Amino acid sequence: MRDSTLKECPYPVTIAIYGALRWYMDHDSRYAEQWSVAELNALFRAFFWRNSLSARYDQGFLSQSSTDIRVLKEILFRRAQAASANAWATDANSALESLLKMPVPEADRLRKLLLDAKPAGALGRALTLLVRTKPTNDLLDPTVSLAFPSDKPVELHHIYPQSWCANNQHGELGKVLDPNKAEFEFAKSVANLTPPHPRATMPGKRRFRVKRSQTGKSVTRSRSRD
């Protein structure tokens, strides 16, 4: 795994919480056979995304991590007493909401975060994490693998370069690209990002064709490495 991988992750220190829970599972007899790795992974995944998308650790990790470990451990310990996996999942969801104040993010809020200008900090890294890790091939050169983890940097580039967006804020396109008219600042959004591999991008500019559904015409434009 690349050295920069954790830097691209929101709150990389949370790996310590996962490590602690795995340690309890493997070395503390009180927790032996109480939960499986798959169940731990499912709970931690829910905790990780809710924590990251709420920017909760921006207020400090040390002041909250001990409580987080205790609550997560309690949730896992109750798995053995739960009537079913679904019953435990319901209990886990309620505990995350009530004890750690971590509700499931609302769909409308997530949509706005993805379509508006990318926020800075851990929240911005959380929103771009899937863009960096889920794609398997380069958008322009499918022969280039982007499968995670990669030993080469995966840099995010704008699908529609910001300079192109700034120069086309008129007509039908202005309804999307003009920040004074559009609902969101799309040009700077996560939705306008893609992870082409630097080695797949030729030096300078590349030219390719893009179909504009608003005009019905095919427009040739330059793709800059921005």
Rounded Cα distance between 96 and 104, Å, is 9
Rounded Cα distance between 127 and 132, Å, is 10
Rounded Cα distance between 80 and 88, Å, is 9
Rounded Cα distance between 214 and 198, Å, is 31
Domain positions in the chain: 6-99, 107-223
The dihedral sign for the CA sequence 77, 18, 59, 122: negative
Q: Which residues of the chain have pLDDT under 50?
A: 1-3, 198-226
Residues 103-160 have pLDDT tens digits of 888 999 999 999 999 999 999 999 999 888 888 887 777 887 777 766 666 778 888 9
Phi, psi of 213 (to 5 degrees): -70, -25
Residue 19's SS3 state is helix
- For residue 206, the cross-strand partners are 223
Rounded Cα distance between 223 and 226, Å, is 9
What pTM value is reported for the model? 0.76
Rounded Cα distance between 84 and 26, Å, is 23
